[in-house]
Amino acid sequence: MNEHHNLSRRETQIMDILYAEGELTVNAIQDRLPDPPTTMSIRTFLAILSEKGLVKRRKEGRGFIYRPATQRARAGARNLRKVIQTFFDGSIEKAIGACLADKGAGLTPEEGERLHRLIDEAEQRDRTERRSDR
């Protein structure tokens, strides 16, 4: 599967709808799109998304049901790794620092505590992996 997905505005809208709804027909996707294109155009977008490895389909009756090929979190993590590599020299520290430096980000105390726990867990996992590599 291609890791570098350059999605058009319409492809992004379709993926957002599929992630929100799970599985849909072309007509159901069309009903949820703002200023919807024709069903033929939606089929074309879905074929492109399928070629990119982002959408799968299954036959049902005379038509197809479309769904995302991967879970939203997995796709998000993959794309986040690309952003971190591209804009932050592969540094998670720089990426998180940029987020925290944004005054509009607004980190709640609960989010701060969860981030601390995640960092502690990652450090523990890395220490364990380093010991097992010896």
**pTM of the full structure:** 0.61
* pLDDT tens, residue by residue, 55-105: 999 999 999 999 999 887 877 787 788 889 999 999 988 998 888 888 777
- Alpha helices by DSSP H, 35-108: 39-51, 72-87, 92-101
Give domain status of residue 77, yes or no: no
Average pLDDT, rounded, for the chain:
89
In the three-class reduction of DSSP (H, G, I as helix; E, B as strand; rest coil), residue 125 is classed as helix
Domain that holds residue 132: 106-134
Beta carbons within 8 Å of 28's beta carbon, 6+ residues apart: 21
Give domain status of residue 120, yes or no: yes
What is the count of structural domains for the chain? 2
CA distance 53 to 95: 27
Give domain status of residue 60, yes or no: yes
